[in-house]
Amino acid sequence: MNTADLHTLTGAYALHALGPREQAAVERHLDACPACAREVRELTATAARLGRAVTLVPPEGFKESVMRRIDGVRQEPPHTAAPASVPGSAPRGRRLSRWALAACLAAAAALGGTTVWQHQEAEDARQEAREARRTTDQVADILAAPDARTRSARLAGGASGTVVVSKERDKAVFVAASMARPPGGKVYQLWFDDGGTMRSAGLLDPGRGAQSVLMVGPVGAATGMGITMEPAGGSEHPTSEPMALMPLPT
């Protein structure tokens, strides 16, 4: 494969669409070609923005509006013969009024609790959507930063990882590709290497083989990063041998 061919593979590389041999060749080329390295960063940022563009957040009050309409559809009462009057009993209208009042009170109490729960559930979903969009914006911003620098490495099982660092923003993004799903009860955890001391930098989504993750915390004085497999929820310190250790790009 000649240099001219490698110049045309930046798009496929940014989308993780190359085979192992081609990917390794492109990565070697990126170390010696600043123009292609810059193009890869720009294409990766564009792909992240395109992914964000197809997301859809429901409008405010959408769920509450649907639930109100459902509650407004009334069921027709069953057609039954009127019961015979019993001497000494209260008139039928009064008995029905008492039952109707009791039913309304019970329904009102239940509906009130349900409404509060539904409102909280909708608000939680909106908050999660806002946080996800904010994180996506930060990832795209770092990938497209003028001072962004990248370094890639091959991981176990044919997976690959690329770390993108912006010193100006003091942040890093980890881009994973072809990651095998971890065993049940396990998760991949990222770490910053602060001169031999590992500092947690967040978790990968165990259900996604390809993902771009904003590493938690500032880059600071870290000179490298690592990946370990940890119990679900992560650990304060690594509890297993690292699957990968790589220096941060400078």
Place of tokens 């010696």: 32
Residue showing tokens 């912006």: 166
pLDDT at 61: 66
What would the two tokens of residue 15 be?
């989308």
Domain limits, the chain? 147-250
Give the pLDDT of residue 36: 83
Q: How far apart are CA 39 and CA 68, in angstroms?
A: 51
Q: How far apart are the C-alpha atoms of 231 and 132, rounded to whole Å? A: 24
Q: CA-to-CA distance for 230 and 140, rounded, in angstroms?
A: 27
Contact 178, 163 (CB under 8 A): no
- Mind listing the pLDDT tens digit of every residue in the chain (250 residues)? 666 677 777 777 777 777 888 888 888 888 888 888 887 887 777 666 555 544 455 566 666 676 666 656 555 555 555 555 555 544 444 444 555 555 555 555 555 555 555 555 556 666 666 666 777 788 888 888 889 999 888 888 888 889 999 999 999 999 888 889 999 999 999 999 999 999 999 999 998 888 889 999 999 999 999 999 999 999 999 999 998 899 998 8
> Any bridge partners for residue 227, and if so which?
190, 244
pLDDT computed for residue 202 by the predictor = 95
Cβ within 8 Å of residue 117, ≥6 positions away: none
pLDDT on residue 222 = 96
3-state DSSP assignment of residue 68:
helix
Report pLDDT for 142: 87
What is the spatial distance between Cα 151 and Cα 179, in angstroms, rounded to a whole number? 17
Q: What is the pLDDT of residue 168?
A: 93
